[in-house]
């Protein structure tokens, strides 16, 4: 497993470990976009660690053959990733106390002493990484003493959240930015269908939209619409108030920028589609360096293959749209069709309830020291924890925040709600660490004689 660390400020004797639970991609991307940890490390005397998730980036258990077959790929699970993180934290704690050398093997072979736990660990994560941060505390409370789980949709699963909630939130972001923009997007789906019914129409769209690969058939048109849909979702996710380069190089308030050309949903076919293309240009060519529109991937910084496998095994998140309560096409959720796709693509059967069985679903009141933060501009807030579970498993709602904006580095354009959220995190982290240090000391044990 690859990991990045910064120990400049670490107080090795008992300083905390700030541990980022890696997501579905190379760890460098998350390291560069999670400045909050860096900014508070000196104050806490903390070690900063960014751990890469197995089967992503360079962390391939079987090298270049890790994706060859399911006998190897079957070890790509959230449970296995968390076990890796346990192993790494235990190793780092032991290395810091300089009591032991590392034992060869996995988490089961780690020698544990009292000194191993001198350094409290605080987990941080956003999105899937936020889910892992929360589950880390739930599953291994002796290893991690608290978790900041940002934009973590741990309830985006069957029976916990309505399948249309995700696209409803996405749609509200566009409609609140510009009603005409939202209506243009809604109308564009049928307009694309009518414009691409003939080979001549597909050629025109390919030319006017500068597609890298021309549209040849209905499958290509479907792929184009899926790419567009993903772009709208991604822009809502990273609708930050300043320019950033997370999923793609983007200007500040990118949804507003995308909506600028979409001023009239009653335009004729190609005028309307031209306005859509000009809006999409914000996402795929903000830098002005792209010569054509490549619809093969909307998130090149993330690993679609690995996540596709996880989405077909444990991360089964039902989503649907109807074109009435949202600005997307009518796409109902059909588990049977989804299962057929997973069987055909990965030769696996998706499990709709495995995550709930492993981590508890909505029944997490016996957990502690977890903050679930959600920005209401973020589509993934639909599956997030939006209310306090207990006094120590709490929700932080950030109205003006997009996808884990709160974990990014401070910026003068940050909304006040984000600034306040970060202050609250620091307060809670101090409390968790203080409590851990107080009650982990041997001399705190009361002794009674007969």
Count of residues making up the chain: 450
CB-based burial of residue 4 (10 Å sphere; 0-12 exposed, 13-18 middle, 19+ buried)?
A: middle
Query: Looking at residue 321, what DSSP letter applies?
Result: B
Q: Do the Cβ atoms of 224 and 141 come closer than 8 Å?
A: no
Distant-in-sequence, close-in-space partners of 226: CB < 8 Å, separation ≥ 6: none
Distant-in-sequence, close-in-space partners of 162: CB < 8 Å, separation ≥ 6: none
Tell me the angle at which helices 269-284 and 199-208 cross, rounded to the nearest 10 degrees. Answer: 40
CA dist 197 → 105, 200, 215, 302, 358 (Å): 59, 8, 11, 33, 47
Q: Do the Cβ atoms of 317 and 355 come closer than 8 Å?
A: no
Distant-in-sequence, close-in-space partners of 197: CB < 8 Å, separation ≥ 6: none
Distance separating alpha carbons of residues 338 and 319, to the nearest angstrom:
11
Distance separating alpha carbons of residues 274 and 79, to the nearest angstrom:
46
Distance separating alpha carbons of residues 290 and 339, to the nearest angstrom:
37
C-alpha angle with apex 394: 391 to 397, nearest 5 degrees? 140
Distance separating alpha carbons of residues 288 and 285, to the nearest angstrom:
5
Helices (H), 318-415: 335-346, 354-359
Q: Hey, which residues are catalytic here?
A: 127, 378, 403
3 state SS of 6: strand
Q: Which helix (H) or strand (E) is 26 found in, with range?
A: none
Q: Do the Cβ atoms of 234 and 248 come closer than 8 Å?
A: yes
Helices (H), 375-415: none
CA dist 190 → 195, 279, 327, 433 (Å): 9, 18, 12, 55
The residues with which 25 forms a beta bridge, in sequence order, are 302
Q: Do the Cβ atoms of 225 and 202 come closer than 8 Å?
A: no
């Amino acid at each position: 497993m690859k990991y990045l660390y910064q120990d400049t400020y670490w107080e090795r004797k008992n300083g905390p470990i700030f541990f980022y639970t890696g997501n579905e991609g190379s760890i460098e991307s998350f390291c560069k976009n999670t400045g909050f940890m860096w900014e508070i490390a000196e104050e806490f005397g903390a070690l900063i660690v960014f751990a890469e998730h197995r089967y992503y980036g360079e962390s391939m258990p079987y090298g270049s053959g890790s994706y060859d077959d399911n006998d190897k790929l079957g070890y790509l699970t959230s449970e296995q990733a968390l076990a890796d993180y346990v192993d790494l934290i235990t190793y780092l704690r032991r290395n810091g106390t300089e009591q032991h050398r590392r034992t060869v093997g996995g988490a089961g072979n780690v020698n544990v002493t009292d000194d191993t736990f001198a350094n409290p660990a605080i987990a941080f994560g956003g999105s899937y990484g936020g889910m892992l941060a929360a589950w880390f505390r739930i599953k291994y409370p002796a290893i991690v003493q608290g978790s900041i789980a940002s934009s973590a949709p741990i309830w985006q699963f069957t029976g916990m959240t309505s399948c249309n909630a995700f696209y409803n939130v996405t749609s509200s972001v566009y409609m609140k930015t510009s009603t005409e923009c939202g209506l243009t997007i809604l109308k564009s789906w049928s307009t694309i269908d009518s414009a691409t019914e003939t080979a001549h129409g597909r050629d025109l769209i390919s030319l006017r939209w500068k597609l890298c690969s021309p549209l040849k058939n209905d499958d290509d048109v479907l792929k184009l619409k899926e790419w567009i849909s993903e772009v709208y979702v991604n822009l809502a996710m990273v609708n930050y108030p300043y320019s950033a380069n997370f999923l793609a190089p983007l200007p500040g308030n990118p949804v507003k920028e995308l909506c600028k050309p979409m001023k009239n949903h009653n335009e004729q076919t190609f005028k309307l589609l031209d306005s859509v293309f000009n809006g999409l240009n914000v996402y795929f060519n903000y830098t002005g360096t792209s010569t054509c529109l490549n619809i093969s991937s909307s998130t090149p910084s993330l690993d679609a293959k690995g996540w596709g496998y996880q989405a077909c095994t444990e991360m089964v998140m039902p989503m649907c749209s109807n074109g009435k309560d949202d600005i997307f096409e009518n796409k109902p959720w059909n588990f049977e069709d989804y299962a057929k796709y997973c069987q055909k693509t990965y030769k696996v059967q998706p499990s709709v309830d495995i995550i709930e069985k492993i981590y508890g679903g909505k029944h997490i009141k016996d957990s502690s020291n977890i903050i679930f933060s959600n920005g209401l501009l973020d589509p993934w807030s639909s599956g997030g924890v939006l209310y306090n579970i207990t006094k120590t498993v709490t929700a932080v709602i950030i109205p003006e925040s997009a996808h884990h904006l709160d974990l990014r580095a401070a910026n003068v354009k940050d909304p006040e709600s984000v600034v306040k959220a970060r202050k609250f995190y620091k307060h809670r982290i101090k409390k968790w660490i203080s409590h851990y240090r107080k009650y982990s000391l041997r001399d705190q044990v009361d002794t009674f004689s007969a």
